[in-house]
Amino acid sequence: MLAAFTFNTAENLPIGLLGMVSGDLRVSLSAAGLLVTGYGVTVALASLPLAHAVRAVPRRQVLAGLLAVLVVSSLMAAAAASYGPLLVARLLTALAQALFWAVMGPVAVGLFAPAVRGRVVGALSVAGSLALVLGVPAGTWLGRRSGWQAPVALLAVPGLVSLVTIAVLLPTSRPQESHAAYGSHPDARRFGAVLAAGALSATGAFTGFTYLVTFLGEVSGFSPDAVGALLSAFGVACLAGVGVTGALLDRFPQAALAAAVAVQAVGMLGLYAAGARPVAAVGFLVLMGGALGPVFMAAQNAVLRCAPGRTEIAFAANSGAYNAGIAGGAALGGLVLPSAGVRGAFLVGGLLTAGACAVLLGSAARGARRRKALPPSLPSAGCRAADGR
């Protein structure tokens, strides 16, 4: 959980420090923004190849190595005197995070009984969400008082604590020996639907979320101080949504993802339709925030169930698809703005999210039809794959 918090803080911390980095290193704000977008693109491209490359390496060694890279790259970034070394350090952290999210879930879930795997995924997601609610705001506050280097260097501390803890305490075993190494209900079609829905929902979310500050100011009419408070409320709603959904994942594993995606679609389309009214804008903003974290968390839990092969490869594919959606959504929103304005960005994002919900519902309907078509005595394809027959 501490490692997840640290990696997510490292990923998003530059968002609050871009102005300071731009001024200190004498680069444009758009160049400084590459510290965020380049990071996301690297995670999207590197997740699957890295997971495949280390699929046979004991997980204690892999996680300890990734955390060592995080510690070193954080110190390198803080010591950078120019833009080039800082970008290199950021990309090193991104490579470590790309593999961390692929490996971390199956390792943590494998330490517990299969009946509580949803609660484990939920706990890890709460830690990741705390990065946005606590880590990034605290790092931004420290950066304004001590320079952007201080919070970047400080990331090495929790990274080192996580490294030592995992290196000493995590059991050593072959990756394929864990009960979480393979999907509990393998289903290649369902897995494809989860990947497609995750990518679509991420694209939709970030088509609007990237320009949320502009929307709240220009469309809803909130003052800059009020916008800051609303962003905090958005983060709290995200954290609350993750906590509530995590407690329900084990009871409703199939419905959790579709429900989270549907709530995100309602929130975004509601902002488009009624965002000019401040009270309605706050309500739909909370809905969107309450769904954003649970969508990725529920997708990870779904991958643990339906992965057609090794779960860390499936996790890597899911992380890559989601990060590709983030980058694509930010770019799509920028294309929509000149012609349709910021409200149009939320309309497009909401429609894409509704499309993701349709993909999931269509997949569930096809699965139900296949099960009805099977003879009563014949197990499903997923069961045959699971028990080796």
Q: Which residues contact 192 (CB under 8 A, 6 or more apart)?
A: none
Q: Give how far Cα 29 sits from Cα of 22, 51, 342, Å.
A: 6, 33, 21
Q: Which is more confidently placed, 386 or 227? A: 227
pLDDT above 80 for 388:
no
**How does residue 83 score in pLDDT terms, banded at 50, 70 and 90?**
very high
Q: What confidence tens digit (pLDDT) does each residue in 56-74 have?
A: 888 899 999 999 999 999 9
H or E segment and range at residue 161: helix 156-169
Q: What confidence tens digit (pLDDT) does each residue in 209-223 have?
A: 878 888 999 999 999
- Estimate to the nearest angstrom the gap between the alpha carbon of 176 and the chain centroid: 25
Among the listed ranges 141-145, 272-276, 357-361, which one has the minimum average pLDDT value?
141-145
Q: Which is more confidently placed, 55 or 348? A: 348
Q: Is 371 helix (H, G, I), strand (E, B) or coil?
A: helix
Long-range contacts of 33-39 (CB under 8 A, 24+ apart): 34/87, 35/86, 35/87, 35/90, 36/11, 36/12, 37/327, 37/330, 38/87, 38/90, 38/91, 38/94, 39/11, 39/14, 39/90, 39/91, 39/93, 39/94
pLDDT at 380: 46
pLDDT at 31: 78
């809905």: which residue's tokens? 287
The pair of structure tokens assigned to 74 is: 């954080």
Q: What confidence tens digit (pLDDT) does each residue in 112-166 have?
A: 888 888 888 888 888 888 887 888 888 888 998 999 999 999 999 999 999 999 9
Q: What confidence tens digit (pLDDT) does each residue in 28-38 have?
A: 876 777 787 78
pLDDT at 310: 86
pTM of the model: 0.80
Domains and CATH numbers, the chain: 2-114+146-174 (no CATH), 188-369 (1.20.1250.20)
Q: What's the rounded mean pLDDT across residues 260-287? A: 96
Q: What's the rounded mean pLDDT across residues 223-249? A: 87
Q: What's the rounded mean pLDDT across residues 360-367? A: 87
